[in-house]
Amino acid sequence: MPNMLEVPKSPDFVRFHADFGQRFIVTVDTEEEFDWSKPFDRSGHGLSHVPRLGKFQQFCEGCGIVPVYLIDFPVASDPLTVEVLGEAISAGRAEV
């Protein structure tokens, strides 16, 4: 049985055509903010970082990157998230 910790042998390497280019996925873990030192509270979170996602999205677009945002419920249900990322997601310049 193959061991995933062992480096693959040369015959197992995948070869792509030179024009294939470099491929990667940029994922952005986007969650609500909360104080880890306090007890859990459903309403005790913040989303002050959401407006700054717009600047990051612009950076990604300038580099030709289509980021994948991994968001949780507080971020997904916040109207500001739609305002900041909605157009990019609708246009296919970002994914959720």
Separation of alpha carbons 14 and 24, rounded Å: 15
Residue 28, phi then psi, degrees to nearest 5: -125, 110
> Residue 22 above 80 pLDDT?
no
Token code pair at residue 29: 């873990």
Q: pLDDT tens digit string along 47-92?
A: 888 999 999 999 999 999 999 999 998 899 999 999 999 999 999 9
Q: How confident is the model at residue 28 (pLDDT cuts 50, 70, 90)?
A: very high
The pLDDT value recorded for residue 61 is 96
* pTM to 2 decimal places: 0.72
